[in-house]
Structure 1
């Protein structure tokens, strides 16, 4: 059995800045504080959180959407979920919509809170520091 997560967050920045934070290794490492290996190329492999999460870039629509095959390092070999990030402009802000599907049973609760702790909160802090 698998489960899904849907989260929506508004950030005080542009879709371009958010998109870049997810596909640029240097920026991703800066906001997470952890090593990342990412290329903004469909089909390329990525690894974030010093190997804690890895996968492949499935679809990249510049400044609009990212779809990844995504897996936790502690998941069984060959088990992947799908992460979809949509970036929607809202005047001077951006709505980021996450749909994380195909999550293995027993991992959803950890991931539900993990997206906030490991991504949304540090991303907001990093963006605020950059705007000052």
Structure 2
């Protein structure tokens, strides 16, 4: 199992980024796909027509989101922690994901870069 950690610069306030990551309608705008999401610990979610599924664990408004992402039933829980820090250009987003299966790591992290956080970045840059 591997861990992925990366920082992204997003040209928006931490509150705007947080809302884009936690409001179902906002998530649909920047993903262009079906979403099921409730900003409440203990709720399950589905992004990209079910390509990413998991459970919401913690929310700290404008600062932090913690989720468990599913990689099949046999694997250890994969925990995603997104931290938002205000900086001069908007927001420094720290993305950390633990327990990514070795065989999925390269494809999965490319998907995070290109679609998940890449899509979020494109959304704010195009405004």
Q: In structure 2, how many angstroms separate the alpha carbons of the residues matched to 1:98 and 1:70? A: 13
Correspondence for 1:91? 88
Q: How many residues align?
A: 126
Q: In structure 1, how many angstroms separate the alpha carbons of the residues matched to 2:89 and 2:104? A: 35
C-alpha distance after superposition, 1:83-127 (max 9, x if no partner): 000000003410000000011221111121111111222212211
What's the Cα RMSD here?
A: 1.3
What is the TM-score when the length of structure 1 is the normalising length? 0.89
Residue in structure 1 matching 2:99, options 90, 97, 102? 102
Correspondence for 1:76? 72
Residue 56 (structure 1) shift: 0.8
Correspondence for 2:51? 52
Structure 2, gaps ≥5 residues long: none
What is the TM-score when the length of structure 2 is the normalising length? 0.92
Correspondence for 1:114? 111
Q: 1:77 to 1:26 in 2, by over 3 A?
A: same
Moved over 6 A (4+): none
Correspondence for 2:3? 4
Q: In structure 1, how many angstroms separate the alpha carbons of the residues matched to 2:118 and 2:63? A: 21
2:41 match: secondary structure: coil
